[in-house]
A and B are shown apart, each in its own frame.
Chain A
Amino acid sequence: MIGAIGAGIEFLSIVGAGIIAGLLGSLTGLGGGTVLVPVLTLFYGIPIIFATGASLISTIATSAGSASAYVKQRIANVKIGIGLEIATTLGAIVGSLTLVYVRRSGFIWIIFVVFGVVMLSSLVPTIQRTAKEIPPLMKPDWTTRFFQLSGSYYDSKISKKVDYNGIRWWMGEIVMFFAGVISGLLGIGSGAMKVVGMDWAMNLPMKVTTTTSNFMIGITAATGSSIYWFQGYIQPFIAAATAIGVIIGSFFGTKILVRITNTNIRWIFFWVLAFLGFDMLLKGFYMERIISISISEQFGLSVVISIIMLLGLITYFRGKRRLSRG
């Protein structure tokens, strides 16, 4: 039995998890959900189905909060965002229904494994994101005109208006469909994949990509949330705590982000993400008895592997930078 005081402490501790998730999510650009789900399942022992439910609905709050500023500053391109939402909303329906199916068939361990894999593979494009701000100008294609993908924004860092032409709309839609599936399946915003869709496929500037993705995440998450709701995946007590926490965390995250000039600090955040990703992966294998090491050994192993992985990435990116310089 937990009394009112115990319940209050539990509530505040989940708000705390939300704050950490919001902070790390905005500092790394991955969004709150990606940190929230592993923290809630690995450290709080919350059933993953309630963790994904709380996460997905909290994602809407952070998306709406930050998109509000970006839309006002006219950096986010709402038009391009809504066009691409055709694919993400469809993907979110497919993803949420897949989760319903997976849960009913008793394969929930697969969600842990997929989560780990998605988290680890989102690290590379997220780290790489810092490399270039404005993409090389490419020749507009037929989709640029047909889907009206040209735009401009004022970049305060270089005090200049930046014009851009999006291309390959269809390829963006394909990537967005999968981003939607991941969002619905794992209860996250899948911002990293949306960025890949707009940056890599459509050649949009990074600022437009990240801010538009932020705006889109809310619509994608809203699609999945309603399916989650009627399936019962949202526990109001947990979801209320995470929504409040994530909003506070991402608010401070964006404030801190402006002040962080030393990029080396960001590697620590990336290490936390790599650790959580590995731990989710191991937990999934452990649940299915594919591995049989204890929980503390899983922790230790995740720490070691994530450090090795990160050192490898640091060496790789530093070497690449040196090559491009010299």
Chain B
Amino acid sequence: MVRSYNDIVSKVLRGGVVASLVSIVAGIVLIFIYGRADGFTISTLANVREPFAQQLRSSLLLPSNFLSGMIHLDGAYFISVGLWILVFTPITVVVISLFEFAERKNIRYVVMSIIVLVNLFVAMFVIR
């Protein structure tokens, strides 16, 4: 049976949330097991009133280090990957929609999906 576009989108959205939750929970468990994450102690991490500069924050967690961080069972990187799965979930839907519009030869909406993806690309890779 050919799955309809709506069903695929629905599955991707749900699957993304589940996958991300699994990774986030794994990260939290690891932080509690090892008592630290990316060189920060658990007491610093949990001291949520700590000012910006003294806290572990996303700008220190570079995507290029995600894989090695996970291999070293660093919880911060598992959480990071979980959060990035969340970010990519709606973006995947735009990509799927682009293919769907292309298949139906709906040129106007192919162009519009591409514009949305360009905006997302700019936000992710151009602006620093």
Q: Which residues of A contact B (CB under 8 A)?
A: 1-4, 6-8, 10-11, 14, 44-47, 49-50, 53, 57, 60-61, 63-65, 67-69, 71-72, 74, 78-79, 82-83, 85-86, 89-90, 92-93, 96-97, 146-148, 215, 218-219, 221-241, 243-244, 247
Contacts of A11 in B (CB 8 A): 28, 46
**22 CB-based A-B contacts, threshold 8 Å:** A4-B35, A7-B43, A10-B48, A44-B48, A46-B49, A60-B90, A65-B17, A68-B13, A69-B10, A74-B6, A78-B97, A82-B109, A93-B119, A148-B109, A222-B86, A230-B58, A230-B127, A232-B59, A233-B58, A235-B45, A239-B83, A244-B25
Within 8 Å by CB of B48, from A50, A78, A244, lies A50
A291–B112 Cα distance when bound, in Å, is 47
Report yes or no: A243 in contact with B6, Cβ–Cβ below 8 A: no
Which residue in chain A gives the minimum CB-CB distance to B117? A89
Report yes or no: A227 in contact with B123, Cβ–Cβ below 8 A: yes
A89–B117 Cα distance when bound, in Å, is 9
B19 to chain A, nearest CB (A): 11
A68–B57 Cα distance when bound, in Å, is 30
A225 to chain B, nearest CB (A): 5
Contacts of B59 in A (CB 8 A): 229-232
Contacts of B120 in A (CB 8 A): 89, 219, 222-223, 226
B102 within 8 A of A: no
Report yes or no: B52 in contact with A236, Cβ–Cβ below 8 A: no
A-B contact count (CB 8 A): 211
A78–B14 Cα distance when bound, in Å, is 16
A227–B6 Cα distance when bound, in Å, is 29
Report yes or no: B90 in contact with A47, Cβ–Cβ below 8 A: no
Q: Contact size class for B?
A: 35 or more
A267–B57 Cα distance when bound, in Å, is 38
- On whether A1 and B43 interact (CB within 8 A), knowing A218-B89, A247-B21, the answer reads yes
A311 to chain B, nearest CB (A): 36
A222–B58 Cα distance when bound, in Å, is 15
B87 within 8 A of A: yes
Report yes or no: B123 in contact with A226, Cβ–Cβ below 8 A: yes
- On whether A68 and B108 interact (CB within 8 A), knowing A223-B120, A223-B123, the answer reads no
Within 8 Å by CB of B83, from A47, A97, A243, lies A243
